[in-house]
Structure 1
Amino acid sequence: MALAFYAVACAPPPKSEKDLSLKDAFAGKFYIGAALDSAQIVGEDTAAIRVVKEQFNAIVAENCMKSEKIQPQEGVFDFHLPDQFVDFGEQNGLFVTGHTLIWHSQAPAWFFVDSLGNDVSREVMIERMKTHIQTVVGRYKGRIKGWDVVNEAILDDGSYRQSKFFEIIGEDYIRLAFEFAHQADPDAELYYNDYSMANAGKREGVVAMVKKLQEQGVRIDGIGMQAHIGLGHPDIAEFEKSIEAFGALGVHVMITELDLTLLPFPDQNVGAEVSASFEYQQQMDPYKEGLPDEMNTKFENRYLDFFKLFLKHQDVISRVTQWGVNDTQSWRNYWPIDGRTDYPLLFDRENNPKPVVAKIIELTKE
């Protein structure tokens, strides 16, 4: 009896409503995650790491697992940061996603050419792709729970992107990438990930591609909808149509790379095309000294509208992941215009939760 009394007396008190975290609030609904940069992975950014441990139950690597980083030279793999990333996830009981195996951007130049700089043959390209995927996935077999296998292969009109993978191999490279990943780790979940997924043309193209993979017997477990949103785009009703269309395929839907830019955008047609770049102009950087109340209100309302949508479709949504931990880290400060000050995430530059976090948590109680 004394031991039982001691155990009860020493048990931590239940969390108050004030202390409730995002991961607590969304428990039983979907994972809530964040992308980690190198300073966080190696433990230098201790304040951001505290936020991750307190608030999130899923992580993805922002850059260190992209092919130009992980295999900068043929046959020379750099697992230094990825190993630390996976270790951190395991030590803290987090759902770990690998990002990304096959992507036309941030791929090493050698991947597609021979010693003379000419495109390699289809056979060589397939072998290089297979070696890369199976080496990386195989290293983390049973440890990384899900992989973004192919990233951004469909254009806004629903056609295939004419990437080097497509030019050399053909559309079959997508099927092969998923098959190679499945062979390397039969238990890992496998995803397709893309931006501007609320566009009707892209929606139809992705649905057609996934249906074809399913008909070919290829394992595909989920579709990642990158959510690089703004105050006026995408149309939330169109975003919902895509959630429903993808969910109807019998796969998970994941909200990936979520951030909300408040800055004017120089060209709405570029989506989240990482190669887009525009020169700095002062009028395109209006909030360097802070956000006015009116913009804070718009920011909160937009985030709340999207989280209401995510909760509405929690039956098919398995994860919602912010693209970063805090505003300082966000790529929105340097893309598509370098040197701007944006406020796209749920935690500010001092790693404090913004007022909208408490309001998002309140939504889960309704």
Structure 2
Amino acid sequence: MNRILVVCTRQIGDVLLTTPLVRAARRRWPQAQVDVLGFSGTLGMLRGNADIHELIEMPARPGLSGLYAFARRLWRRYDLALVTLPSDRAHLIAWIAARQRSGVLPEHGGSNWWKRLLLDHAVVGTGDEGSRHAVQEKLELLAPWVERPETPAVSAPAGAPLPADLQAALRERPVVVHVPSMWPYKQWAPEKYAQVVRTLLDRGHQVVLTGGPGARDRECIGPVRSIAAAPALLDASGRLDFNQLVTLLQRASLYIGPDTSVSHLAAAAGTPTLAIFGPTNPQRWAPWPGRPGEQPVHFQRRALEQSVGNVTLLQAELPCVPCSKAGCEDHRQSRSDCLIAITPERVTEAALRMLGEKASPGSAPARG
């Protein structure tokens, strides 16, 4: 295998979780060129990754002319394609690009019959309800060539210098808080984040807010941004690329955030990570610890609080948790009662414990 293509046409967090697969392929074939293909705007967390030769960006909706141009560019350019998700388009790209193909299939799918015909090796995915983490599932794509991969680690991108004014205002070991989620059904209320941040500030911790430049992120951060002035509370949202974000995270004493790509990045960077989960199944999508060690990584499907490596994960005490749906109404704009049930007191207590402190007397968290 001299040229290998990893196909991951999904969101940013999913792309980051392909890095153990990329690393395993490079170790199996040290001389090989490994490229990664993904949608435009999703590959930023892979920039500077020493295991990757080229990042190939593809528009999410390229149209017929765009698909034809990609087909001409990629036609049988690779010896092996690794398809990390079961989508029709990803499998067609792999067939165009490579002579041999290994790919993920859904457990039940109407298009499985023709995808199996295109694959030399198939991995049957367990879906969001499954007990196998996405990192482990992706590594199974190499089963015909790699007998026993070592305990995988997700590779965070290399750090980059912070903006000069942020660097000057930053104290030692700040707490990084990421309020926004891409979709409302994964969003813990900004007002609850505000309560947690107030306590951290009262305890003397500097808090740095992160997020993107978009309108939704700005709206979510608004109730928290106004709590205090710099340098106690710094707003870095919209100012940092992923490489700069890694630098910030590696300086942090703690990261607090939701089920989102930045939480995966914090865990990969080795930062103590407190993740607030709602309907998502942690066995499948928990942030992968940055220092997994020799023991297999395994998250429980349901637990009020669980810790693996540098990751601590909180869930609600509701019988439906996790439902693996897009909230209670099963659409992206839905509410999630399991997130509503998680109190600021619970998150604050867990955060202070991770910081080596105790909660104030009389502030025992409500269960949920």
Q: With structure 2 as the length reference, what TM-score do the two structures score?
A: 0.29
Q: With structure 1 as the length reference, what TM-score do the two structures score?
A: 0.29
Higher relative CO (Cα under 8 Å, sequence separation at least 6) belongs to: 1
Structure richer in helix, relative to its length:
1
